[in-house]
C-alpha cells in the first residue's frame, strides 16, 4: 500500500503492511517459519550486518511475517516504525532499554497494571534503574518528580484495571518541557479508540496479547516509534546519539533520522535481549487486527450498557467505567478516546472481599482468567491475583482494592452477560434484579453446551 494516510482505519487494519506474496501470489500473509535467510552473496551479507542495507538475517532480529505486523501496527498508531517482541512485558523493557542506564529513573503513573508495577518497582532495580511512582492526575507532582536523571515518563492511556483515562496532552506537555520522551501503554484502548502519538507521545507500547489479537490465543508485544523525538538534542540519550561500538561507530540518530529508535531496537535490542515474537504469533495477531474496529465497537457498546446496569445495582458500591457520566474522567473521554472509553473497568462490591470471591466463583459466561481484551467476557479479583504482590496501599492506588473485581467486557450478547452477573450477584449475597434475561430465551446451560436439566423451562 502507498499513501496510507489517505485510507480509513477500517481499510488500514486489513491492508497496511500486507502485499500478495511475490513467490506464490498468496493473498494472506504467509507464516515464514524459518530461522535464517540465504544471502545473495558475501557482499550482501556484509551490507546487512553493517546496517547498510535493510533485509533479513536471522529471525531473532527480523522475519517477514513479523515485519508485516510491525508495519500494520505502526500505521494504525500513526508512527514511523514498530518493533514486535514476545510479550507486553518484553515491550516495556524494550521501550526503556535504549534510554536508560544505571542511576537513571523513569517517572511512572501509580495507575498501572499490577505486573507493570512489580516490573518497575522491583525488577528494573537489578539494572540500576529507578521508577518514581506519581499520581498522574496531579500534574504538579509529575513535574516535581522529573529530575536531571529522568529519561522517560510512562503511563497507560486507559489504565488497567480501573479504566481511568490519562490526560495525555497535559502529560506530554510536561515531558516535552523536560526534554524526555513520553511512553504510553495503549493496550486497553488500541489505536482504534486512542492514538497517543497524536496527543504528544514519543513511544507507544502494546501487549498485542490483548485487544489487538482479540482471541486469547498468543502472547506478544510491540513498541511503536513516533519518529518525532530529537535523540541528539540534549546529550541524555547516548545509545541513540553517540557512536555505537558494535557497528564501527555508527550513530543511529544521525544515520537513520526519524527511524533511529526503531533501528536501534532491532539491531541492538532484539539482537542482545532476544525478546523475539514468533511468526505464528504474528500471524494470529494480524488476523485479529483485521476485525479490530468491529470488535472494539461492540466491546464499547456492551461495556457502556453493563456498566450502567451495575452502577444501579444495590450490591454495587461503585463502578469505575469512564464512559459513565458519574465518572470524573467522563469529559476526558471525548478528547482522548472519542470513540469510547474501552471495555475495561472495576466494580466495588458492598460485601467486600468475600462477596468478590463468591461473585467470581458463581459466574457462568464470564471466564475467570488473568487476561483482558478477549472476545469473551472476563473477570478477575485483582487483589488476590494480578495485584497480589503489591502492598495494600499500592493495590488501592492502582484501583485494585480487596473489595474490587475487574471486568473485561467481551462481544457476546449484552442481555446474556447482564443475566449472568445478576444471578452471580444474588449468590454473592446481593438482592436480585430483573436483568432482561436471555434475548433468545435459552437457558445458560444450553449456551455453555452443558447438559440441561430435563425440568428446565
For 98-147, the DSSP string reads TT--TT-EEEEESSS-HHHHHHHHTGGGGGT-EEEEE-TT-HHHHHHH--
Distances (CA, A) of 331 to 163, 184, 198, 338, 435: 14, 20, 18, 10, 29
Q: In a 3-state reduction of DSSP, which class is residue 152? A: strand
Q: State how beta strands 182-185 and 130-134 pair.
A: unpaired
pTM of the model: 0.91
Residues 6+ apart with CB under 8 A from 340: 193, 296, 297, 300, 303, 304, 323, 333
pLDDT the model gives residue 21: 87
Domain covering 292-447 assigned CATH 3.10.20.740 in the classification: no
Rounded to whole angstroms, the Cα distance separating 259 from 54 reads: 12
Instruction: Using 70 as the pLDDT threshold, list the residues of the chain that sit under it.
Output: 1-5, 430-457
Alpha-carbon distance of 389 to 226, in angstroms, equals: 34
Check if CATH label 3.40.640.10 holds for domain 4-289: yes
| Residue among 158, 441, 204, 421 at smallest CA distance from 300 | 158
What is the structure's pLDDT at 448? Answer: 38
Strand partners, 344: 408
* Per-residue confidence (pLDDT) for residue 446, from 0 to 100: 33
Domains 4-289 and 292-447 belong to one CATH topology: no
- Count CA atoms closer than 13 A to 238's CA, side-chain side: 7
pLDDT value of position 406: 95
Question: Angle at the Cα of 63 (from 58 to 64), degrees rounded to 5?
Answer: 140
The residue ranges of every structural domain in the chain are 4-289, 292-447
User: pLDDT at position 5, please?
Assistant: 58
Spatial contact of 276 and 86, defined as CB atoms under 8 Å apart: yes
Cell of 218: 498468543
Closest CA to 66 of 54, 48, 83, 90: 83
- Distance, in Å, from the CA atom of 35 to the CA atom of 64, rounded to the nearest integer, reads 11
Amino acid at each position: 500500500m502507498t499513501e496510507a494516510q489517505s485510507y480509513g482505519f477500517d481499510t488500514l487494519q486489513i491492508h497496511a503492511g500486507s502485499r500478495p506474496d511475490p513467490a506464490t501470489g498468496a493473498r494472506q500473509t504467509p507464516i515464514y517459519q524459518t530461522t535464517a535467510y540465504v544471502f545473495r552473496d558475501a557482499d550482501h551479507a556484509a551490507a546487512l550486518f553493517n546496517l547498510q542495507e535493510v533485509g533479513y538475517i536471522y529471525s531473532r532480529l527480523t522475519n517477514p511475517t513479523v515485519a508485516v505486523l510491525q508495519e500494520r501496527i505502526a500505521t494504525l498508531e500513526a508512527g514511523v516504525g514498530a518493533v514486535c517482541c514476545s510479550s507486553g512485558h518484553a515491550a516495556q523493557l524494550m521501550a526503556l532499554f535504549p534510554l536508560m542506564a544505571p542511576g537513571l529513573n523513569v517517572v511512572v503513573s501509580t495507575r498501572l497494571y499490577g505486573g507493570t508495577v512489580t516490573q518497575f518497582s522491583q525488577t528494573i532495580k537489578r539494572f540500576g534503574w529507578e521508577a518514581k511512582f506519581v499520581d498522574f492526575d496531579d500534574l504538579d507532582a509529575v513535574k516535581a518528580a522529573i529530575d536531571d536523571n529522568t529519561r522517560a515518563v510512562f503511563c497507560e492511556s486507559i489504565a488497567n484495571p480501573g479504566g481511568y483515562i490519562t490526560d495525555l496532552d497535559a502529560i506530554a506537555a510536561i515531558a516535552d518541557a523536560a526534554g524526555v520522551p513520553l511512553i504510553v501503554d495503549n493496550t486497553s484502548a488500541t489505536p482504534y479508540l486512542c492514538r497517543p502519538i497524536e496527543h504528544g507521545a514519543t513511544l507507544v507500547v502494546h501487549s498485542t496479547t490483548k485487544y489487538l489479537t482479540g482471541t486469547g490465543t498468543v502472547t506478544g508485544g510491540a513498541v511503536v516509534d513516533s519518529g518525532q523525538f530529537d535523540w541528539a538534542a540534549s546529550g541524555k540519550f547516548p545509545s541513540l546519539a553517540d557512536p555505537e561500538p558494535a557497528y564501527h561507530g555508527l550513530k543511529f540518530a544521525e544515520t537513520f533520522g526519524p527511524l533511529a529508535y526503531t533501528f536501534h531496537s532491532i539491531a541492538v535490542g532484539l539482537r542482545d535481549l532476544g525478546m523475539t515474537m514468533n511468526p505464528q504469533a504474528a500471524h494470529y495477531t494480524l488476523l485479529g487486527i483485521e476485525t479490530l474496529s468491529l470488535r472494539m465497537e461492540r466491546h464499547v457498546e456492551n461495556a457502556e450498557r453493563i456498566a450502567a446496569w451495575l452502577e444501579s445495582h444495590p450490591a454495587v458500591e461503585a463502578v469505575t467505567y469512564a464512559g459513565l457520566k458519574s465518572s470524573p474522567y467522563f469529559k476526558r473521554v471525548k478528547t482522548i478516546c472519542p470513540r469510547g472509553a474501552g471495555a475495561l473497568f472495576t466494580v466495588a462490591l458492598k460485601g467486600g472481599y468475600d462477596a468478590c470471591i463468591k461473585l467470581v466463583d458463581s459466574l457462568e459466561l464470564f471466564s475467570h482468567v488473568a487476561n483482558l481484551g478477549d472476545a469473551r467476557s472476563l473477570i478477575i479479583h485483582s487483589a488476590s491475583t494480578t495485584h497480589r504482590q503489591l502492598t495494600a496501599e499500592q493495590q488501592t492506588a492502582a484501583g485494585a482494592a480487596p473489595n474490587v473485581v475487574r471486568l473485561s467486557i467481551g462481544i457476546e450478547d449484552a442481555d446474556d452477560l447482564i443475566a449472568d452477573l445478576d444471578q452471580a450477584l444474588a449468590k454473592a449475597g446481593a438482592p436480585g434484579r430483573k436483568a432482561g434475561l436471555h434475548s433468545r430465551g435459552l437457558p445458560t446451560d444450553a449456551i455453555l453446551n452443558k447438559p440441561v436439566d430435563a425440568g428446565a423451562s
